[in-house]
Amino acid sequence: MTHTPHRLEIQNASIGYGEKIVLRDLSFHVPHGARVAVVGPNGAGKSTLFKALVGLLPLQSGQILIHGLPLGNHLDCVAYVPQREDVDWRFPVTVRDVVMMGRFGQLGWLKRASRRDMQIVQNSLEQMGIADLADYSIGQLSGGQQQRTFLARALAQEPHILLMDEPFSSVDITTQEATLSLLDYLREREVTAMISTHDLNLAATRFDHVLLLNRRLIAFGRPGEVLAQESLSRAFGSSLLVMENGAMLVDECCPPEEEHHHTETK
């Protein structure tokens, strides 16, 4: 009997910045092609987890294994789609340039983009419905179009694991649906996806796994198991309001820049 290594394994990992530990003692494993919603209150460490998975933050202890091997052994196995604010929109690049950057991991130092690379880029653009915007400067795009550009770039990377940081906040319905159908497309190709979101409804209905964090692992598993009262109250504490009819409200009081989220969940 062959033992297929899980796509992604985290073992006793602690992640932080210098002295300050943000995520403590995480252990879980994610199978091939799973679609995981990463949820938790603000400051729970969702972005921190992604940064560690990408290699931006070193682990203070424990290990992260991809295909059974420690992080760093697989070149650009992991694609990361950042929150929109982190990008310099005045940089002189077009949509196509940005998506092509996703191929740079494969290109190596000296080589120029091959016909195949250009084809992959074109496919990614079409997949995300922005092929007609290919030669526009990124500064000319709307919010949703910018989001889709970065999704296209992640696609062009041909990753095994895709990470997305809050892709559903402040985007229009079209982009949201485009993102979700991209995730469906990726699932067919057995790409593992980990998406952080505040939208617990979405987590419950469109994802097959949920990772609930609040500075440590609260729960990981099927939505039904994880999004239960006990774990939710451990994660969200007093922000969780349990109604008499069994419905639960999570009031995520966020930092002033973001909107309030009121999410009802059963």
Residues that bind another protein (CB under 8 A): 17, 54-56, 72, 75-76, 78-80, 82, 86-88, 91-94, 97, 101, 104-105, 107, 109-110, 137, 153, 157
**Smallest gap, in angstroms, from Cβ of residue 54 to another protein?**
5
Nearer to another protein, 186 or 212 (CB): 186
Q: Is there a contact between 135 and 173 (Cβ–Cβ < 8 Å)?
A: no
Least distance from another protein to the Cβ atom of residue 163, Å: 9
Residue 246 beta carbon to another protein: minimum distance, rounded to whole angstroms: 41
Helix then strand then coil, in percent of the chain rounded to 5, is 35, 30, 35
Contact 14, 20 (CB under 8 A): no
Closer residue to another protein in complex, CB, 132/259: 132
∠ CA 188-154-124, nearest 5°, is 70
For another protein, give the closer residue by CB, 2 or 109: 109
Q: CA-CA distance, 50 to 164, in Å (whole number)?
A: 8
Euclidean distance between CA atoms 179 and 125, whole angstroms: 13
Identify whether the C-beta of residue 113 lies closer than 8 Å to the C-beta of residue 105: no
Nearest residue (CB) to another protein, 55 versus 143:
55
- Work out how close the CB of 56 gets to another protein at its nearest, in angstroms, rounded to a whole number: 5
